[in-house]
Structure 1
Amino acid sequence: MPTFQYSAIDGSGNRTQGTLYAASLDVALGQLSRDGMNVEAISVMTSQADPLTQAPPPVVHEVPTHERTYMQTNVVGRVVDKVPLSKLMFFFRQFATMQRAGVPIVQALGTLAGQARDGKLNSILRECQGHVEAGRPVSFGLQRYPEVFTPLMVSLIRSGEEGGYLDRASDLVANYIQQDIQIRDEYRRATLMPKLTIGASILIILGANAFIASQGSNIRIWSPLTQPITWLYLGPIIVGLWLFFKIGLANPAIKARWDQFIINVPYSGHTLHQFAMAKFGRALGALYSGGVPIQRSIELAADSCGNEYVRALIYPAARKLQEGEGIAATLQATGGLTPIVADMLATGERTGNVDEMLTKVAEYYEEEAKVRALVLARIVGVVAIICVAIYVLIVLIKFYTGYFQMQFDAADNATMIWTLR
C-alpha cells in the first residue's frame, strides 16, 4: 500500500502537513475529505516504479459529441438543472490541486466525479473523463454544458490547456467563483431586512384584514401589494424579468446587447468593466508567459473576460499587433485601459516584464472593482430600506386616512340623527 504525503487546510483554517497510507489516490482523497481537510497538494512518497502507485489503465467510455439541443441547454438546464456555485468552486480547486500534484487528467476527473455529491456534476465529469480518454481536451466536455459552465470558465480552461498552465487556470476559475459567491452573499445580507419587511407586511396585512372581517368590522388595512390589480400588472413583469435573466441571456446576441447596456450604467458599469479587464489581464499574462503567440493570447484572454461587449472591443487589438504596434498602445486604443494601467503596461513592455505587469494590472483592477462592488451592495441595501420605509408610510397614511374618515362619517351620522330628534 503506497504512502501519500499531503498539505491541506483543516476545518479551523490551519494549514497542516502529514502522511497517510491508502490503497489509491482516490481512497486517500476520500479519507482526507471525510476528515474535513481541504487538500492543497498530495503526492506519492514511494517510488514511482512501485506498481501500487501507477494509475489504472484507462477504460474508454462511449461519450456523446453531438451538440445538445437549445431546450436542454437554455431552458431546462437553466431553470431546473443547475449546479451550485459552491460545488463548482470545490471542483475547480480540487482539480487544480491534483494537476499540480501530477495526477493524470483522466484519473483526476474520475476521482472528482466519485466525490461529487451533485448528480448533474457527477455525470458531466464522467463525460469529460470519456472525452479526455478519447483524446479531446477538458474544455470540449465543459462547453457542452453552458448552463453549468459559463463562457468565462470554459475560456479560462481552454487558455490553460493551450498555454500549459491548466492548474493555474483552474485555480483562477475557482477564485473568480469564490469572488462571485462573496459579492452575492454581500447583496443578500444588504437586502435581507428590506425583503423580510416587505414579506412580513404582506402577511400581517392579509392576516389582520381576515381577522377584522371575521369580527364584522368594515375597517380594512390597505396595501398596494395586497391588491389583485397590482399583481395583474406586476406578476407578468416579474415573470418576464425572470425568463429574461434565466433564458434570454443565453442567446449570444441578447447577451452582447445586455453587456453593452450594463457597461454604460453609471458606477456599476465601471465596476463590471474593471472586473472584465482584471480577468483579461490575468489570462493574458499567463498565456504570454506560457509562450503562446501574442495574437492568439489576446484572443483567448478576450474570450476569458466574461463580457461580450468588452470582448468585441479587444478582438481588433489582436489584428493590429500584426501591423507592428506595441501591446500597450494597441490595448489602450480599445478604450479598456485607464492611463495609469496603460503606463504600467508600457513600462513592462520596455523592460521585458509584460506578464508580470499584466498580473499587477489584474490585481489593481480586482481590488478596485471589489471595493466598488461592496460599496454598491451597501448602497443597494440603504436604497432598499428607504423604499420599504416609503411603502410602510403609504400603508400607514392610507390606514389612518380611512380610519379618521370613518370616524368623521360616524360623527356626521350621529349629529344628523340628533338633529332629526
Structure 2
Amino acid sequence: MTSYRYIAIDQYGQRHRGVLEMPNEQMLTASLQQQGLELLTFRMGQPWFWRQPRVNTQTLILFCVQMEQLLQAGVPLLQALADLAEQNEHQGMKAALRDVQRDLEAGKLLSQALQAQPKIFPPLLGQLIDAGERTGQLPEIFGHLTRTLSWQAELRSQVRRGLTYPAVLCVMVAIAAYVMLTFLVPQMASFLQSLGQALPWSTRLLLALSDGVMAYGGWLLLGIIAMVTVFTLAIRRSPVFAFFLDQQLLRLPVVGRLVHQLVLARFCRFLGLMYQTGIPLLQALAWCQPLLQQRVMEQALAEVYQRVQAGESLTAGFAATQQFPPLMLRMLSVGETTGALDRMLFQLAMVYDREVQSQLQMLLRLLEPALTIALGMMLLFLMAAVMLPVYDSFSSLRY
C-alpha cells in the first residue's frame, strides 16, 4: 500500500483534501470516483506532521447506535456503512468508515475490517462484532456496545468533572507560589534583613526558597520534565517496571481499593458481555486480559485462563490467584452451578460500579477541602515568615 495525498473536486465544485492508502494510482482514482469526487492532483507519501483526526467515545457511541438502528431496519451492511460515511461530519470517522467499506468489498468480514484500524476502533469493538457475526446477532451486539461505551464515557466524565476544580486550584496555587518566591519575597528580603533582628526559621526558609527558585528555577523545571520523560519511557519500555508500579498502586490505602474495584467492574462487564454473545469461556478470558488495563490483574487473569484450560473450575481458578474478593467468588460459584454465569457477572458489575462511584465521590469530596487547607497553610506560613520579624522588631522598641 502507498499513501497518497490528494486534492479532489466534487460535483458542486468544492475541493477536498485527504490521505488514502492505495495499491496504485488507478485504484486511487476509482475510489474517489465512488465517493463522487474527481481527482485533481496527488502526491505520494504522507507528511510527517499529518495525523488522522482523533475519534472520541461519543463518536463511537453514535456509530454503534446508528448501526444498530440501520441493521434492525434491514439495511444491508455495505449500504449502512456507505450512508454513515456519507453523512458523518467527523473527518477521521468518515475516512475510517470508507476504509472499512473498501475492506468489505474486498471480501473481509466486518470484524476484520474494524480490527485493521486499532487507532479508531478499540479491541472490544472488533471482538464482540466477531461474536455477533458468528451467532447472527450483529444488531444486538451494537446495542450492547452502545451501553458499554456509554458506561465508560459516563465514568470518565464523572472523574473529569470531579477533578476540574482541584486541578484549577493546584494550578492557581503553583502560580501564586511562583509569583511569591520570585517577585514578592525578593522585594521584602532587604527590608527583613535591615531590621537587625535574628530572623526566625520560617523567614530564613522562605528566603532560602526564594533564592533557590531565582537561581535554579529553570534547571529545576528542566529536571522535572526530564524525570517525567524518563518515567514515561520506563513504563513503556520496561514491563517489569510497569508491573511494579501497578502492583504498588493496588497497595495504596484508598486509591488502590478504588482502582481494584474499577478493574473488577470492567472485567465483569466485559466477560459477561462476551459470554452472553456466545464467545467460548476460554476465548473470552483471553480477550479480556488486555482490556483490563492493569498489569497485575492481567497476570492474574492469565493464570485463571491456564487453570481453566487445565480442567479446573472457573471459581477455583479465580480463588487460586488471591486477587478476587470473596463476594465475586461466591457469585461466580452460583453462576456456574445454575448456568447463569452471564447474569451473575452483570450483577457483580453493577455492584462494583456502585462502589466505584460511591468511593470516587467520597474521594473527590475530601480532595477539595484538603487542597483548600493546603492553600491556607501556605498563606499562614507566608504571613508568619513576614510578620514575625516585624513583630519582634516592634516589641524590642523602648519608649
TM-score bracket, normalised by the shorter chain, equals 0.5 to 0.7
Moved more, 248-257 or 300-309: 248-257
For residues 274 and 147 of structure 2, the distance between their equivalents in structure 1, rounded to whole angstroms, comes to 15
Which of 111, 127, 134 matches 1:159? 127
Kept in 2, the 8 Å contact 1:348–1:354? The answer is: yes
CA shift, 1:392, in A, is 1.8
1:288 aligns with 2:275: yes
Residue 259 of structure 1 is aligned with which of 238, 246, 253? 246
Range moving further from structure 2, 300-309 or 187-196? 187-196
The equivalent residue for 1:354 is: 341
1:372 to 359, 365, 374: 359
* Contact 2:269/2:349, CA 8 A, preserved across alignment: yes
CA distance in 2, matches of 1:334, 1:58: 54
Q: What is the CA–CA distance in structure 1 between the aligned matches of 2:289 and 2:89, rounded to whole Å?
A: 31
Q: TM-score, normalised to structure 1's length? A: 0.64
Work out which of the residue numbers 175, 179, 186 in structure 1 matches 2:151: 175
Cα deviation, residue 330, structure 1: 1.8
* 2:122 match: secondary structure: helix
Q: Which moved more, 1:221-230 or 1:186-195?
A: 221-230
Pair 1:183–1:303, CA change in 2 (3 A): same
* Partner secondary structure for residue 333 of structure 1: helix
1:124 offset after TM fit, Å?
A: 5.0
What is the distance in 2 between the residues matched to 1:305 and 1:229? 46
Q: Which residue of 2 aligns with 1:111?
A: 84
Pair 188,105 (structure 1): closer, same or farther in 2 beyond 3 Å? farther
How far does the alpha carbon of each residue in 1:271-321 deviate from its partner, in whole angstroms, 9 at most, with x for none? 111111111111111211222111111111222222122111111212222
| 1:184 alignment partner, one of 160, 179, 194 | 160
Q: Aligned pair in 2 of structure 1 residues 275, 193: CA closer, same or farther (>3 Å)?
A: same
Alignment equivalent of 1:243, drawn from 206, 225, 229: 229
Number of residue pairs the alignment of both structures matches = 325
Q: Residue 360 of structure 1: SS of its match in structure 2?
A: helix
Q: Indicate whether 1:325 and 2:325 are aligned.
A: no
Task: Give runs of aligned pairs for residues 198-277 of structure 1, distance below 5 A.
Answer: 198-203=174-179, 208=184, 218=191, 224=209, 227-229=213-215, 231=217, 234-240=220-226, 242-243=228-229, 249-251=235-237, 253=239, 254-277=241-264
Q: Is the 8 A contact 2:81 2:97 kept in 1?
A: no
Tell me the alpha carbon deviations over residues 245-280 of structure 1, each in whole angstroms, 9 at most, x when there is no partner. 765544472543332221222221121111111111
8 Å CA contact 2:181–2:210 kept in 1: the answer is no
> Equivalent residues in 2 for 1:72-87 (5 A)?
83=54
Over the matched positions of the two proteins, sequence identity in percent amounts to 16
Segment drifting more, 338-347 vs 106-115: 106-115
Measure the CA separation in 1 of the matches of 2:249 and 2:233. Answer: 18
2:84–2:97 Cα contact (<8 Å) kept:
no
- Which residue number corresponds to residue 96 of structure 1? 64
Q: How far 1:369 sits from its partner (Å)?
A: 1.6
Which AA in structure 2 matches 1:196?
M
Letter in structure 2 aligned against 1:348: G
Compute the RMSD of aligned alpha carbons. Answer: 3.9
Shift in CA distance, 263/114, structure 1 to aligned 2, threshold 3 Å: farther
Whole-Å separation in 1 of the counterparts to 2:175 and 2:78:
49
Q: 2:324 aligns with which of 331, 334, 337?
A: 337
Pairwise CA distance, 1:406: 6.7
- Partners of 2:305 and 2:332 in 1: how far apart? 16
What displacement does 1:355 show? 0.7
Q: In the aligned structure 2, how far is the partner of 1:133 from the partner of 1:406? A: 87
Task: Point out where structure 2 has 5 or more consecutive residues left out of the alignment.
Answer: 1-32, 36-47, 133-140, 194-202
Distance in 2 (alpha carbons) for counterparts of 1:306 and 1:246: 16
**Given that residues 163 and 286 in structure 1 are in contact (C-alpha distance below 8 angstroms), is that contact kept between their aligned partners in structure 2?**
no
TM-score, normalization: structure 2? 0.67
Q: Which runs of 5+ in 1 are unaligned?
A: 1-56, 60-71, 416-421
The secondary structure found in structure 2 opposite 1:92 is helix
**Distance change >3 Å, CA 225–CA 219, structure 1 → 2:** closer
Q: Which shows bigger deviation, 266-275 or 107-116?
A: 107-116
Q: Distance in 2 between matches of 1:264 and 1:129?
A: 47
Q: Distance in 2 between matches of 1:260 and 1:185?
A: 27
